[in-house]
């Protein structure tokens, strides 16, 4: 259940309710709004009488949360969660684009890609140092060396970094170099990893498993949220179906469904969702039109030489053109994509909607 405090209820009253929740053996999770504070009562499924709290001073009412995901639900937090990173506010009116190669291959490759996406207006660079692959013979990433390269590129370009972490014991290492920890589709239900990234208090990009339902995705997010880490982004990256013309089937339906169920930002990965560079643009535009808060797009300066996922990677010039198109779509649905790079005199010229 959630406990809704009265407007203007002081901190003393809030802490009295928190103490009562904990005395009964539950966890108390606070959501502080502009006018009211909401306290989530989280724990096992033991019934607890709402009257225990409704009779307390400062409590307005209690409301049951019917969804199995409690902290991720809009019942617990009606307003959208906004995550500030590198001058951006993920989950706000602005649509965030994160872009870069699938894998870190060399310092030269990452710098070339980073400057290209920054010139197009991107402020968050993606790149995998650890690469979980279906085949053990495929390129697995550079590991720690790859993280060090990302750190150097971050320092030189000013871009924030999103990169994948695969094991609980690697979280502290990856967190030293990254601004966002990515939990990949294959690890969506790696519960030890979910606990570890939750405890890190870092922003988390949680990818939907290739055969996971939306409820399973939200329950995975709940593991992270249970550690009072609310900086979680959900990523739709396509699910496995019987269709063979695309790598996966990107579930556009998931965007508005998730936006209705949860306060967490929703990101779409059209690169893994399609597996074909020529489909990335149309699906990216569709995702923004459907209400996505951000996109994760693979960009490689030389896709034909890429060690991972070259077929779905955009060349920098194609990506720059896509950014212009995405801005028009965003404006059409009441959103925006800012193309002015921070701490730089570089301004990308974009024609108006009528241009």
Report whether 144 contacts 50 (CB < 8 A).
Answer: no
Q: Are 124 and 176 found together in one domain? A: yes
**Torsion sign across C-alpha atoms 317, 321, 322, 323:** positive
Q: C-alpha angle 145/341/131, rounded to 5°?
A: 25
Q: In angstroms, rounded to a whole number, what is the distance separating the alpha carbons of residues 69 and 225?
A: 10
Residue 260, domain CATH: 3.20.20.70
Q: What is the pLDDT of residues 10-32, one digit of tens each?
A: 999 999 999 999 999 999 999 88
**Do 101 and 245 belong together in one domain?**
yes
> Where is the domain boundary, 63, 91, 106?
63
Same domain, 24 and 159: no
Task: Specify if 352 maps to a domain.
Answer: no
CA pair distance 270, 163, nearest whole angstrom: 17
Closest by CA to 270, choosing from 99, 141, 113, is 99
Tokens 């197009």 correspond to 120
What's the CATH number where 54 sits? 3.30.70.1140
- Give me the average pLDDT of each 10-residue run along the chain (355 residues): 92 95 92 87 79 91 90 94 95 98 96 97 95 71 92 97 97 97 97 98 97 98 96 97 95 98 98 97 98 98 93 97 97 88 39 30
Q: Is residue 219 part of a domain?
A: yes
> For tokens 């994160």, what's the residue?
98
Q: Residues 199, 58: one domain?
A: no
- 237 and 140 in a common domain: yes
pLDDT of residue 340: 54
Do residues 293 and 267 touch, judged by C-beta distance below 8 A? yes
Whether residue 55 is found in the same domain as residue 104: no
- Helix (H) / strand (E) element for 255: namely helix 254-261
C-alpha distances in Å from residue 95, one per residue of 90, 158, 286 = 7, 19, 13
Same domain, 192 and 48: no
* CA–CA gap between residue 17 and residue 46 (Å, rounded): 18
87 and 26 assigned to the same domain: no
Distances (CA, A) of 133 to 103, 242, 246, 346: 11, 21, 18, 37
Phi and psi at residue 5, in whole multiples of 5°?
-80, 155
pLDDT in tens, 246-289: 999 999 999 999 999 999 999 999 999 999 999 999 999 999 99
- 3-state DSSP assignment of residue 68: coil
238 shares a domain with 97: yes
The number of residues making up the chain comes to: 355
When divided into structural domains, the chain yields a total of 2
Question: d(Cα 278, Cα 28) in Å, to the nearest integer?
Answer: 48
pLDDT at 133: 65
Q: Which residue has the tokens 């500030």?
A: 84
Q: Are residues 47 and 136 in the same domain?
A: no
Q: Long-range contacts made by residues 219-223, C-beta under 8 angstroms, separation at least 24?
A: 219/68, 219/69, 220/183, 220/188, 220/189, 220/194, 221/69, 221/72, 221/262, 221/264, 222/69, 222/70, 222/71, 222/72, 223/191, 223/194, 223/195, 223/198
Residue 344 in any domain: the answer is: no
Same domain, yes or no, for 177 and 224?
yes
**Do 55 and 169 fall into the same domain?**
no
Q: Which residue has the tokens 């490759």?
A: 109
- Structural domain for 11, as ranges: 2-63
Report the C-alpha gap between 109 and 132 in whole angstroms. Answer: 20
């Amino acid at each position: 259940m959630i406990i809704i405090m009265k407007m203007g209820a002081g901190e003393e009253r809030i802490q009295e309710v928190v103490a009562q929740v904990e005395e009964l053996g539950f966890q108390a999770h606070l959501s502080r709004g502009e006018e009211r504070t909401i306290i989530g009562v989280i724990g096992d499924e033991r019934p607890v009488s709402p009257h225990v709290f409704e009779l307390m001073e400062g409590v307005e009412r209690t409301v049951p949360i019917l969804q199995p995901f409690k902290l991720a639900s809009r019942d617990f937090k009606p307003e959208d969660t906004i995550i500030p990173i590198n001058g951006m506010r993920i989950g706000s009116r602005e649509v965030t684009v994160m872009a870069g190669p699938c894998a870190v291959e060399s310092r030269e490759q990452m710098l070339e890609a980073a400057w290209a996406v920054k010139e197009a207006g991107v402020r968050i660079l993606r790149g995998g140092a650890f690469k979980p692959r279906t085949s053990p013979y495929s390129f697995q990433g550079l590991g720690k060396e790859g993280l060090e390269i990302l750190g150097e590129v971050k320092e030189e370009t000013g871009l924030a970094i999103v990169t994948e972490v695969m094991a609980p014991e690697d979280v502290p290492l990856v967190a030293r170099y990254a601004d966002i920890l990515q939990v990949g589709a294959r690890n969506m239900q790696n519960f030890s990893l979910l606990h570890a990234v939750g405890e890190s208090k870092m922003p988390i990009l949680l990818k939907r498993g290739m055969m996971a339902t939306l409820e399973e995705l939200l329950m995975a997010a709940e593991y992270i949220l249970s550690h009072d880490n609310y900086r979680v982004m959900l990523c739709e990256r396509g699910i496995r179906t019987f269709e063979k013309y695309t790598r996966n089937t990107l579930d556009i339906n998931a965007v508005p469904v998730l936006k209705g169920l949860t306060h967490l930002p929703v990101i779409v990965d059209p690169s893994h969702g399609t597996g074909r560079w020529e489909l990335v643009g149309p699906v990216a535009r569709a995702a923004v039109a459907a209400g996505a808060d951000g996109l994760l797009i693979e960009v490689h300066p030389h896709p034909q030489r890429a060690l991972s996922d070259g077929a779905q990677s955009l060349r920098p010039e194609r990506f720059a053109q896509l950014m212009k198109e995405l801005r028009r779509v965003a404006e059409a649905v009441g959103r925006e994509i800012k193309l002015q790079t921070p701490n730089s005199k570089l301004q990308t010229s974009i024609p108006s909607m009528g241009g």
